Structure 1
């Protein structure tokens, strides 16, 4: 998995390149999905250092290309792996159009992704199908981000 400190903070990971590499090396769709989700996770996690001691409650990043937006939210869960929500939205026209999304979490030991939901245009799809639509967006640039720190209650 790409280490967060090596991620380019200004650009969305090149899913088209990652998918092509997986095909070139004859890797299965599971590996392609794991690498794609891992690259997105690392890109957003690179902003964790903006929270005190790197302990964040959530990180929200918006990547844009024209009217297309990819919103990624990384939510830290206490005693569990972080949950990641990826949404594709079109903001052209008179209103925003939600195109689809994925909800996934990395298991506690970081060895696999647990996908709770993946959908496009109101239909349930595989994560690979959703990531394929994102790979068509090859010039996504960081448009906004917000890092919230984790609040710890003292008894």
Structure 2
């Protein structure tokens, strides 16, 4: 059997509706893999939007390790989503991996979304620090005479 581990999205991840959800996993086990293909599904752990998994991709090679889903702009926001990797074994759906919960924020919440735990960004020639929060507020301090506070 396949040994699959979801590596992204992780517990500190968030994405914005209208953007891309990058999904990554690792595979270790026998070659050729068993099962050879998997499905990638989205689960709403809060059960507010849908009660069962939403199939995002089917019949992906188990060893491919990645997929990217274009999130619709409307209808998919919340803080309790997770991704599962599923295969059909002997006519039954079998979950091989489930990632931790992550958030999908409403469109326009943040630009160039970066998890809040990210290290400060330093550009050559000048120092600039950006901190993003899930609430969509960022404090940007520029070296020199001015400090700016932007609300997104």
Higher strand share: 2
Q: Same fold (TM over 0.5)?
A: no
Structure number with greater Rg is 2
Query: Taking structure 2 as the reference length, what is the TM-score of the superposition?
Result: 0.30
Higher helix share: 1
Query: Taking structure 1 as the reference length, what is the TM-score of the superposition?
Result: 0.30
